[in-house]
Every structure is written in C-alpha cells, then in structure tokens.
DNA sequence: CTACATACCGACTGACCGGTTTGTTGTATA
DNA sequence: TATACAACAAACCGGTCAGTCGGTATGTAG
C-alpha cells in the first residue's frame, strides 16, 4: 500500500488485496453487515489466510482507513503548499478530490458513519488521521484567506467543516445527475461557499437591486 | 402514538416508553450495536414484553423514526406556511430546530447513518418521510426565494441539501463550544448560506477593506 | 534432500442476538 | 368470584459470525 509500483512481497500483495476488497465492501455496506468471510472471499483467500495477515476485523477496517487518509493527506497537501488565493487553492484541492474514483471519494465519509464501532483509543486515532487528511488542510488554506482579507473573519475550523460538508453534498447521487461534470460541481461549491446563495446585482454594472 | 397529551392506555404508555428508550440508544450507538435486550431493559420491560408491542427490531426503529419525522414535519410546516422573506422563514425553521433538545436534533441525522440496514420497501418509506419532514420543506421556502429574486437561480433541491448540511455542522459538538448560544449559530448559518464566507466591504460605509 | 519458516486452508467453536414459546400476573367485565 | 383477555416475564431456540486451530502447501537456506 505504501510503496507504489515496486515489487511487493507475497505477503504484502495479499494484504493489499485484502484491503482493496475491504474498501469495496465497506463503502457499500456498513461495518456490521460486512463479514470477514465476505472480505476473505472477495480477496481470494479464506478466513484463515485473512487472519494470518490481520489480527481482527477492526484492524482491517482501521488500517484500511489509515492508509486512505495518509494518501489523501499527501494529495491535498499539494494544494496547501501551492501559492495563490485561498479560492484558487481550495479549487485545486476540491478538484483533486472530485477527480478521484468514486470509491476513494466515498471513503472520506465513512468515518462519520462507522466511527462509533471503535472504543476511545482507536476512535481518537482514526479521527485524528481524518482531521489531518482533510479538515486541517482546508483549515490551513482558510486561515490564510482570513489573514489576507479574502475571507471574512470567522472560526477557520468551523468554516473548514462547512466546506467539507458542501463538498460531500456535491458528490451525492442527486448532485451527480443535476450538476453533471466535476467542473460544474466545483464551480457551484466554490461559489456557494464564497458568495452564498443570495441573488446579487451583477458586479459589472455598479448599481444594485432588489430590496 | 398519534394522540398527544390525553390519557394513554397502559399499552400505549409502555410502547412509548420503549420508543423513548430506543431513541436514546439509537442516537448513541448504531443499529447493530443496540440489542433488543438493551432497549427492553432501558424501557423497564423484558424482551417478551417488548415483542408484545413490536413485531421486530426493525419495526421499533422505523416507527421511532416515522413518529419523529411526523412531529418534525408538523413543526417545520409552520415556517413554510408563514409569510415573509425566504431568509425570515428559514430563520424561523432553523431556530425551531436548534431549540429542540439535543436528542431530537440528532435524530434527523440518523437516516444517513442507518439507512442501509433496511431493504428496498422500508428504506424508501423512511427516506420519503425524511424528505417530507426536512429537505422538502426547506426546498419549498427556497423555491419561493428563487421565484422572488431573493435567491440566485439554482436547483432548489440541491440548495436545500446544502442548507441542511450547514445546519448539521452547526449542531456539532465543536460548533457548540465555538458558537455557543443558538442565536449565534443561527446567524452564522444564515449568513453563510446567503452571503458566503467571502470578506465584503461593510455596506454601511460604502468604501471597503481590511486588506 | 532436510529443516525450518512463512503463507494459506477450512472445519470448528463459543458467544451473542433476534425472535419464539410457555407460563404468570394484572385487570376489567358480568 | 368466575371468566377472559391483555400485559408482561423468563427460559429457550436457531442462526450468524468473529476468531481459532490443526493441518497443508510453498518457498528457502544449509
């Protein structure tokens, strides 16, 4: 999972086959409805083989999530490190996200759904990894935007959560049909976040309008 | 279940005790992690007693949800029927929502988490009741807002989902600490939805900018 | 070829849980 | 006070599923 193309050992290959199978299953059904037998057979091994590589069902889930968050963290950090306005950087980050295959996108939403199956320690670890991968990076950009006067002063963390939730709606099934291609979705999300839903007079012609 | 204050029969009392217990448990843990024994003992009956009133665990869950949606539907319809700008009506609706006890508020988010435990028919029924209670009513207000030129033309359904997701963030634990009282939260949600996060010159003093 | 390790198989187990059954208590009616 | 039925209790059943365990295959080093 971590090394990309290079030769994987037999063990690593099997482990990543298991993680891949788990991904597909866990995005489609919730934790309790995915059995270890399902994961095993989808990965082309038996339960015995599966438990040779992972000590528990929970460990499969959490290592799957941690791997995913790590890769997302890397992907999105490019937009954070990039220079430009907050809007440009958020556009790139969101664009990168929308360009991901559907499965990878949906993984981001799994934490909220399944988080309560874990107990304290593991839950905190997962949540922290998630925040590192997504909200924290958006928050960094938003902080810059506020400092530069591009965004109105506000709690940056809260704003980043709001932004994430806007994007989550934009990847929903209905938005898929309504907005179509990723560029349109991207534009809508950014426009809504920056300018809101209010009707505005066209800024080109200076004098304005309704009420 | 349907009748509100009047004297409840013994059977109705027990049934509503069961529903109440189920509410607390189902908002705290997901469907699979709540056992019928837990519900029964929290309601002060045994499993036998519980199954005297409900034919299945699913039926407990779904009738709990349907009851809740029905009451929310009634509550929010007042804001829909009210006259005023879209912003005023959304403010009232959101204010009513924020004024609900925490448990009642969180119920609204349960559908998304637990919807996949149901099969086709029941799922559709639940989703339809949810949409009737929340998104559809918000959508009605938004439609008016667009027709009146108060909101920029856009898909009203998508906008209503976006609005719901903003509110959901506003009731999160962190927002609780950051924004404090419901009025502040309400103001932030509305401002963000209508005007966005962008910095704007204060409309009072015509010339702008903190830079 | 031997010895040892790692990878994997698949039958099995023990616990848990949704649902049933059988029996008991309360309560209203006549 | 006998009757009848609803409201519950408690033991029980059947299925499911995470995790185990004894074994077999596939290397790999000496």
Say if A103 falls within a structural domain. Answer: yes
Confidence band of B80 (pLDDT split at 50, 70, 90): very high
The whole-angstrom distance between B131's CA and the closest CA on chain A is: 13
A chain contacts of residue B29, beta-carbon cutoff 8 Å: 116
Do B37 and B76 lie in a common domain?
no
Strand C: list positions under 7 Å from protein Cβ: 6-12, 16-23
Give the residue among A36, A41, A68, A42 at the shortest CA–CA distance from A54: A36
pLDDT given for residue B200 in this prediction: 80
Among A35, A54, A73, the domain-final residue is A54
pLDDT surpassing 50 at residue A206: no
* Mean local confidence (pLDDT), A143-157: 96
Strand C contacted by B29 CB (< 7 A): no
In terms of domains, do B25 and B97 share one?
Answer: no
Residue of A165, A150, A67, A142 whose CA lies nearest to B209 = A150
Contacts (Cβ under 8 Å, ≥6 apart) of B107: B23, B27, B65, B68
- What is residue A45's three-state secondary structure? coil
d(CA B210, CA B40): 60
| Same domain flag for B84 and B128 | yes
**Domain annotation covers residue B2:** no
- A125 domain-assigned: yes
- Best probe of the B interface among A199, A203, A206, by most B CBs < 10 A, is A199
Q: What is the 3-state secondary structure (H, E, C) of B114-145?
A: HHHHCCHHHHHHHHHHHHHHCHHHHHHHHHHH
A50 and A62 in one domain?
no
User: What number is the average pLDDT over the span A13-36?
Assistant: 95
Cα separation of B165 and A94, whole Å? 17
Confidence (pLDDT) at B169: 92
Q: Which pLDDT value is given to residue B204? A: 55
pLDDT of A175 higher than 90: no
Over 70: is that where the pLDDT of B208 sits?
no
Same domain? For B84 and B186 the reply is yes
Q: Residues B162-183: what's their mean pLDDT? A: 88
Residues A49 and A75 in one domain: no
CA of B46 to C1' of D9 (A): 7
pLDDT averaged over every residue in chain B: 89
Report pLDDT for B5: 36
pLDDT tens-digit series, residues B43-77: 999 999 999 999 999 999 999 999 999 999 999 99
Contact call for residues B30 and B52 (beta carbons, < 8 A): no
Q: Answer yes or no: do A161 and A135 share one domain.
A: yes
pLDDT in tens, B97-149: 999 999 999 999 899 889 888 988 889 999 999 999 999 999 999 999 999 99
Nearest CB to A165: which of B30, B153, B165?
Answer: B165
CB contact under 8 A, A149 and B211: yes
Q: Is the pLDDT of residue A182 over 70?
A: yes
- Token match 């997504």: residue? A134
Residue A3 placed within a domain: no
A206: region left, alpha or beta (phi > 0 left; psi from -120 to 50 alpha): alpha
Same domain, B65 and B128: yes
- CATH code at B30? 1.10.10.60
Q: Are A30 and A76 part of one and the same domain?
A: no
Q: How far is A64 from chain B (nearest CA, A)?
A: 20
Q: Tell me if B167 is assigned to some domain.
A: yes
Do both A108 and A137 map to the same domain?
Answer: yes
Range with lowest mean pLDDT among A2-6, A25-29, B17-21, B202-206: A2-6
SS3 B156: helix
A146 found inside a domain = yes
CA distance B170 to B98: 9
Asked if B200 contacts A152 with a C-beta cutoff of 8 angstroms, the reply is yes
- Is A148 in a helix, a strand, or coil? coil
Nearest protein residue by Cα to C1' of nucleotide D22: A48
DSSP category for residue B180: -
Tell me which of B200 and B71 has the higher pLDDT: B71
Close Cβ partners of B77 (under 8 Å, ≥ 6 residues apart): B137
Q: Smallest Cα–Cα separation from A104: which of A75, A140, A131, A141?
A: A75
Residue B22, domain member (yes or no): yes
Of A38-42, A54-58, B103-107, least confident by mean pLDDT is B103-107
Q: How far is A3 from chain B (nearest CA, A)?
A: 34
**Residue A9 — very low, low, confident or very high, per pLDDT cuts 50/70/90?**
confident
Q: Can you give the pLDDT at residue A11?
A: 77
Which domain, by its residues, includes B25? 9-54
Residues A120 and A40 placed together within one structural domain of the fold: no
In this structure, the dihedral spanned by the alpha carbons of residues A22, B123, B127 and B156, taken in order and rounded to 10 degrees, is 60
| CB neighbour list of residue A37: distance below 8 Å, 6 or more residues apart | A47
The chain A residue lying nearest B147, using CA atoms, is A199
The answer to whether the CB of B151 falls within 8 A of the CB of B128 is: no
- When mean pLDDT is compared over A67-76, A100-109, B166-175, the highest value belongs to A67-76
Helix (H, G, I), strand (E, B) or coil at B5: coil
CA angle, corner B199, sides to B195 and B204, nearest 5?
A: 80
Question: Residue B139's domain is classified under what CATH number?
Answer: 1.10.357.10
User: Helices H, strands E: what count in chain B?
Assistant: 11, 0
**How many angstroms separate the Cα of A204 from the Cα of each of A201, A208, A211, B59, B83?**
8, 10, 19, 58, 33
Residue B85's φ and ψ, nearest 5 degrees, are -70, 160
Question: What's the CA gap between A203 and A209, in Å, rounded?
Answer: 11
Q: Render pLDDT for A115-143 as a digit per residue (tens, 0 to 9).
A: 888 988 899 999 999 999 999 999 999 99
User: Is the residue at B148 inside a domain?
Assistant: yes
Q: What is the pLDDT of residue A5?
A: 38
Count: domains in chain B: 2
Domain check: are A90 and A30 in the same one? no
CA angle B25/B29/B32 to nearest 5° reads: 100
CA distances from A86 to A93, A154, B162 (A): 10, 15, 21
């Amino acid at each position: 999972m971590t090394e990309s193309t290079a030769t994987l050992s037999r063990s690593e290959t099997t482990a990543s086959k298991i993680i891949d199978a788990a991904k597909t299953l866990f995005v489609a059904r919730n934790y309790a409805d995915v059995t270890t037998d399902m994961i095993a057979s989808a990965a082309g091994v038996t339960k015995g083989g599966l438990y040779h590589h992972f000590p528990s069902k929970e460990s499969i889930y959490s290592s799957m999530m941690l791997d995913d968050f790590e890769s997302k963290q890397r992907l999105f950090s490019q937009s954070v490190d990039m220079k430009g306005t907050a809007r440009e950087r958020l556009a790139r980050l969101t664009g990168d996200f929308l360009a991901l295959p559907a499965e990878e996108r949906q993984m981001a939403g799994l934490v909220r759904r399944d988080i309560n199956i874990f107990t304290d320690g593991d839950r905190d670890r997962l949540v922290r990894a998630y925040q590192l991968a997504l909200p924290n990076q958006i928050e960094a950009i938003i902080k810059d935007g506020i400092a530069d006067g591009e965004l109105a002063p506000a709690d940056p963390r809260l704003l980043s959560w709001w932004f994430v939730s806007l994007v989550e709606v934009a990847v929903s099934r209905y938005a898929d049909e309504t907005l179509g291609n990723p560029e349109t979705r991207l534009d809508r999300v950014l426009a809504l976040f920056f300018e809101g839903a209010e009707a505005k007079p066209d800024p080109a012609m200076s004098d304005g309008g309704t009420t």
